[in-house]
Structure 1
């Protein structure tokens, strides 16, 4: 049972590339296409929180962590299993309430506790490897308030944290009301060294319900706020440290009060504070990363990745072209992460990782920059740069050239096996 987690320190904001307007509709694909989205399967677990008002948490789905020892972050709350802190509201929500308490009631690490709250987890009831994990939440607000929807590896009891791995789907700290953070922690990249991303919107997140989600696949985790991607990680982001996101994880919902990262409540903080959870849903993962030989078809153009003139010269600038059965469009997803055709590898020019780097054909050379993966979202991602294969200038006609660019979810970056 997890009892602690180290705090992130100051975290850099990441910019989200806004989708451009005015794209033409994607063509209807024939029945033999293999949409990458098939990697996300049906619902495997859910809680819709539709019980009558006052109903306790369903203990067939959730259990409680209880105590006030600071949880590794010098937090101030005592977690209880009381309906005073976690209960159904009768309007389709779970309500987790952080309350200011009489300091004589509960014993915390710093003395008598000033606050109570709740921390729910599925460690004893549900774990899963890979898939989609999503919740619709209206978060609380205020200085020192720290809501979270996150996951821990189910082997934490045997290998400890951070070797078990941690995936933070949603975190917010009250002093940054408009910003959501998504982070992974593991061996060599934990606490303030976690691999983090964020998105800041134009209004406090506490003003409305929002959906918070990760799509987790082998060698890829992608974060979304209201369906818009804002962060992604893969093993290439870890600087040689070990990727530990390959085994079952369980979910956690909690509202902390105070801690090293968010700071502590002050005179502006009002209590009680409530986090409303409309639903939590988990979808399965149904397929492995693509292997074997296939054409790679662009969703935005309906055309296939092609070697110009079927001439596999080093430095050939890859393009889109009418799909055909020539060797110039027969791509093999190899077990070493390379994507090959006509005996050579897809390659970022001069081992580049920046936006605008040409995607060429080069002799396979074992350089990690030649590793790509086609994920369940339909992104063909270069693992070294963490950027997507993109058709330059959104061209949809024959001859459109390929480049690396920040993944934005636009049609010129979406691909299917064909």
Structure 2
């Protein structure tokens, strides 16, 4: 077979693969609702998973603004559930904002949100291997052992309870 004939065969095979395979351009149009797209699956961030209910820490509604609510939802692996650590801060992969105590409130029962990352105590966290503690030595807690999607996340005195146990996934 001549070089030009071989080139035509290779070109034909590539064209056929392109038609049959739908092309080489990645598309999320066929992604199942709630499932990560190929681009999201490639993210370096990790999931923060409650050991009590198996739900993931998520910025609700794909919010990218300051004050976006953080709650527990079923783990999908989407980027609004993925977090990256930088020093003592946890940055949401979707918004680029940091896990933050709502209004810098260090009291028991304070809620969490996301906020523009800065060098502030409300965004400093220590993960002990099972607990997330803030600078006020309170623990990230799913109140009242709520096991349902949409469960709030608050800060509470650390007592080692099941609703304060987390894993990085």
Larger radius of gyration: 1
Question: What RMSD, in angstroms, separates the aligned Cα atoms of the two structures?
Answer: 1.2
- After TM superposition, which residue ranges in structure 1, 4 or more long, deviate above 2 angstroms? none
The equivalent of 2:60 in structure 1 is 308
The equivalent of 1:360 in structure 2 is 113
The structural deviation recorded for 1:392 is: 2.0
Q: Is 1:351 equivalent to 2:104 in the alignment?
A: yes
- The C-alpha deviation readout for 1:306-355, integer Å capped at 9, x for no partner, is 011111221122111110121101101112x1011020000011111110
The structural deviation recorded for 1:368 is: 2.3
Q: Is 1:414 equivalent to 2:165 in the alignment?
A: yes
CA distance in 2 between partners of 1:363 and 1:392 (Å)? 25
- The C-alpha deviation readout for 1:20-50, integer Å capped at 9, x for no partner, is xxxxxxxxxxxxxxxxxxxxxxxxxxxxxxx
Q: Is 1:394 equivalent to 2:145 in the alignment?
A: yes
Unpaired segments ≥5 residues, structure 2? 1-43
CA distance in 1 between partners of 2:45 and 2:133 (Å)? 18
CA distance in 1 between partners of 2:164 and 2:144 (Å)? 11
- The C-alpha deviation readout for 1:345-390, integer Å capped at 9, x for no partner, is 00011111110111111111221221112103x00111x2100000
CA distance in 1 between partners of 2:144 and 2:98 (Å)? 24
The equivalent of 1:379 in structure 2 is 131
Which residues in structure 2 correspond to 1:2-21 (within 5 Å)?
Answer: none
The structural deviation recorded for 1:415 is: 0.3
CA distance in 2 between partners of 1:374 and 1:417 (Å)? 9
Q: Which has the higher helix share?
A: 2
Q: Is 1:332 equivalent to 2:112 in the alignment?
A: no
Unpaired segments ≥5 residues, structure 1? 1-291
1:322–1:398 CA contact under 8 A, matched in 2: yes
The number of equivalent residue pairs is: 124
SS state at 1:316 partner: coil
The structural deviation recorded for 1:395 is: 0.7
CA distance in 1 between partners of 2:126 and 2:85 (Å)? 8
CA distance in 1 between partners of 2:126 and 2:64 (Å)? 21
- The C-alpha deviation readout for 1:238-273, integer Å capped at 9, x for no partner, is xxxxxxxxxxxxxxxxxxxxxxxxxxxxxxxxxxxx
> Given the two structures, how large is their TM-score scaled by the length of structure 1?
0.29
CA distance in 2 between partners of 1:312 and 1:416 (Å)? 24
